[in-house]
Structure 1
Amino acid sequence: MSGAGGAAAASASSLPSAQEEGMTWWYRWLCRLSGVLGAISCAISGLFSCITVHPLNIAAGVWMIINAFILLLCEAPFCCQFVEFANTMAEKVDQLRSWQKAAFYCGMAVVPIVISLTLTTLLGNAIAFATGVLYGLSALGKKGDAISYARIQQQRQQADEEKLTGSLEGEL
C-alpha cells in the first residue's frame, strides 16, 4: 500500500500547481470567486429556463444546472459535502493547467447558448464563461516589465543597424 501512495505523491508533485504557473494568490481567489458566482447564476438561470414548454429551453436549462453543479464541485468542493468524491475531483481539477480549465469552463458555458439562444441563457452563462476567460488569461502569463522590454528592443535595433551598415559597406 505504501508503494501506491508514494507513486501517487510522486505523480502529483510532477504536475504543475497554480503557484508554478505564475498565478498570484489573489488571482487564484478571483478565479474561484467568479466560478462560484458563475455557478449561482447558471443555477438560477437554468431554473428559469426550465419553466417553459419549449423542449430546447428545457434542455438548455438542465445543462445549465449541471454546469452549476460541476462549477461548484470544481471550484468550491466544500459546498458539495454530500458528494463523496467532491474533494478528490477538486484535487484533480486543481492539477490541470490553466488553459485546460479555460477550455473546459468556456466549452461548458457555450453549449446551452448553442442549444437555445435566449437572454436567460446568455446572462446565466456569462459569469461561467468569464471564469474560463480568467483562467485563459492566467495561462498567457505575466506581462513583462518595461525595462526588460526596452532592453530587448534596443538589442534588436542594434542588430538591425549592424545588418544595414554591413550591407551598405558591401555595396561600396
Structure 2
Amino acid sequence: MTWWYRWLCRMAGLLGGVSCAFAGLWNCVTINPLNIAAGVWMMLNAFVLFLCEAPFCCQFIEFANAAAARADRLRPWQKAAFFKKQRERRSAPRLPCRMAAVPVMLSLTLTTLFGNAIAFATGVLYGLSALGKKGDAISYARIQQQKQMDEEKLAGALEGQAL
C-alpha cells in the first residue's frame, strides 16, 4: 500500500468518525427508540474509527495508544475484515462495512445514510487495498494459457480412460 493511499484511508476514517459522531448525536435527539439506538451505534462507530485511525483524537484515554498500535499492525484485509467477517483469508472482502450498515438497518433515514457514508467508504478503501495491484496483461495471458493446457491434458486423460 502506497503512502498516499494509506493517508487517504486514514483521512477517510477520520472524516467518517466525525460524520458518524455528528449524525449519531443528531439521531439521538428524538423520541423514536430505533433512531436513538441507531444514533448510539453511530457514536460507537465514531469512537472505534477515531481509536483505530486517529488516535490523537483519543489522547486522554489510557488504552488508546495500545489499541492504535495494534490497529497499525493489521494488514488491510484484516482491517476490512474488522468491518465484516470474511469466509476465507485470501478472498476479496464483500461489503467490508458491517459496522456502518447496522445503523442504516435500524433506522433508514437520511441522517443515518449520510452519516455512515464516509465510514462505509473507509471500509471499501481498505477492502480495495486488500485486493492488491492489478496484474499486467502478459502474466494474465500466461496464466490463462496454462489453465487451458491443464484442461486439455485432463480432457485427454479422461478420454483415454473412457476407451
The 3-state SS of whatever aligns with 1:42 is: helix
Q: Tell me: CA distance 1:36–1:161, structure 2 relative to 1, closer, same or farther (3 Å).
A: same
1:121-163 deviations in whole A, cap 9, x for unaligned?
1111111011111111112222111222233334455666788
Q: Provide the residue aligned with 1:60 in structure 2.
A: 38
Measure how far apart 1:165 and its partner are. 9.5
1:83-131 deviations in whole A, cap 9, x for unaligned?
1211110111122232332132312111211221211111111110111
Match of 2:74 among 96, 112, 116: 96
**Is residue 2:99 matched to residue 1:108?**
yes
Q: Which moved more, 1:52-61 or 1:90-99?
A: 90-99
> Following the alignment from structure 1 to structure 2, what is the Cα–Cα distance between the partners of residues 165 and 112?
55
Match of 1:82 among 60, 65, 76: 60
Q: Provide the residue aligned with 1:32 in structure 2.
A: 10
Identity %: 72
Match of 1:137 among 123, 128, 135: 128
TM-score, normalising length from structure 1?
A: 0.74
- Structure 2 gap segments, 5+ residues each: 84-96, 159-163
TM-score, normalising length from structure 2?
A: 0.78
Q: Provide the residue aligned with 1:70 in structure 2.
A: 48
Q: Which moved more, 1:68-77 or 1:151-160?
A: 151-160
Match of 2:22 among 1, 21, 44: 44
> Following the alignment from structure 2 to structure 1, what is the Cα–Cα distance between the partners of residues 152 and 80?
42
Match of 2:144 among 117, 135, 153: 153
Measure how far apart 1:32 and its partner are. 0.8
- Structure 1 gap segments, 5+ residues each: 1-22, 168-172
Query: Which residue type is aligned with residue 3 of structure 2?
Result: W
Measure how far apart 1:166 and its partner are. 10
> Following the alignment from structure 1 to structure 2, what is the Cα–Cα distance between the partners of residues 124 and 40?
9
